Amino acid sequence: MPALRLNADMGESYGAWTMGADDRLMPHVDLANVACGFHASDPDVMRRTVRLAVANRVAVGAHPAYPDLQGFGRRSLACSPDEIENLVLYQLGALAAICRAEGTRLHYVKPHGALYNDMMRDEARLDAVLRAVAAYDAGLPVMVMATRDPRPARDMAEARGVTLWFEAFADRAYDGQGRLVSRREAGAVHHDPDTIVDQALRIARGQPLTASDGSDLVLEAQTLCVHGDNPESIAAVRAIRDALGAREPLT
């Protein structure tokens, strides 16, 4: 079974507000997507999260977003491509400084929330993200959604000299195009641990999932997003980790 790295969104607390269970989730993942202050987090939370990742030998990735603290980065904003390029650069620089202070570095970039979804629908926004990463460090892979046809995104990234990591989700339903079913629809999020582990294994083995339209869907993915904001989800992550095998060490 090909290696499938587990990634999780981390460092999304803010001030006195706590979100997630980073300390319990971190030991089970390979990659930590650290919020950079635009949709969540602050300098103190960012540094604590990077320090926790270093202690667990987990690779740190930047998790940039639209400037939307109130909406947790889940609202599409009318940002121009140039504005998107600049806001991504700004957030990479902030997290990179904290990584350097903690003796590590940025390993990859995964846009958050609405920015992540928008760039998969709008080539100009995806290109803006790719431009930002290429300008900062073209060696940083960009994490994007694995869909039925990954060629358009891959071609754009190759034109900018940037590598893509395709990401799948164990706890989400997919439509016929390989995009996530909206959370507003029934059945969009899987809650049963057995269902989540089965979907993770199918993705790792290149076996088909059943899309919402009943079609078979095979996703080409290098990484699997997991969530751990409650005891049940932490248990599911542990089960996925056990099923996929030992963590890959930080390099």
**HSE toward the beta carbon, residue 100, CA cutoff 13 A:** 6
CB 87 within 8 A of CB 80: no
Instruction: Specify the pLDDT at position 2.
Output: 57
pTM for this prediction? 0.93
First-residue to last-residue Cα distance in the chain: 21
Q: Residue 228: its pLDDT value, please?
A: 79
Token pair 């009943």: residue: 214
Length of the chain: 251
Amino acid 57: pLDDT:
96
Look at residue 249 and tell me whether its pLDDT is greater than 80: no
Structure token pair of residue 35: 């919020």
Segment 40-50 shows an average pLDDT of 98
From CA 105, how far away is CA 124, in angstroms rounded? Answer: 28
3-class secondary structure per residue, the chain: CCCCEEEEEECCCECCECCCCHHHHHHHCCEEEEECCCCCCCHHHHHHHHHHHHHCCCEEEEECCCCCCCCCCCCCCCCCHHHHHHHHHHHHHHHHHHHHHCCCCEEEECCCHHHHHHHHHCHHHHHHHHHHHHHHHCCCCEEEECCCCCHHHHHHHHHHCCCEEEEEECCECECCCCCECCCCCCCCECCCHHHHHHHHHHHHHCCCEECCCCCEECCCCCEEECCCCCHHHHHHHHHHHHHHCCCCCCC
pLDDT, tens digit (0-9, with 9 covering 90-100), for 56-100: 999 999 999 999 999 999 999 999 999 999 999 999 999 999 999
* Token representation of residue 172: 């989400």
CATH number (3.40.50.300, 3.30.70.580, 3.20.20.370, 3.40.47.10) of 5-244 reads 3.20.20.370
Per-residue confidence (pLDDT) for residue 245, from 0 to 100: 82
Single-letter amino acid code for the residue at 50:
V
Q: So what's the pLDDT on residue 87?
A: 98
Q: Assign residue 43 a region (left: φ > 0; alpha: ψ between -120 and 50; beta: otherwise).
A: alpha
Tokens 């995104």 belong to which residue?
153
Identity at 120, one-letter amino acid code: M
* Tens digits of residue pLDDT in 167-184: 999 999 999 989 999 888
Beta strands 209-210; 216-217: pairing state: antiparallel
- What is the percent of the chain with per-residue pLDDT over 90, rounded to a whole number? 82
Question: Residue 150 in contact with residue 173, Cβ under 8 Å?
Answer: no
Residue 1 has pLDDT above 60, yes or no: no
User: Where are the domains positioned within the chain?
Assistant: 5-244
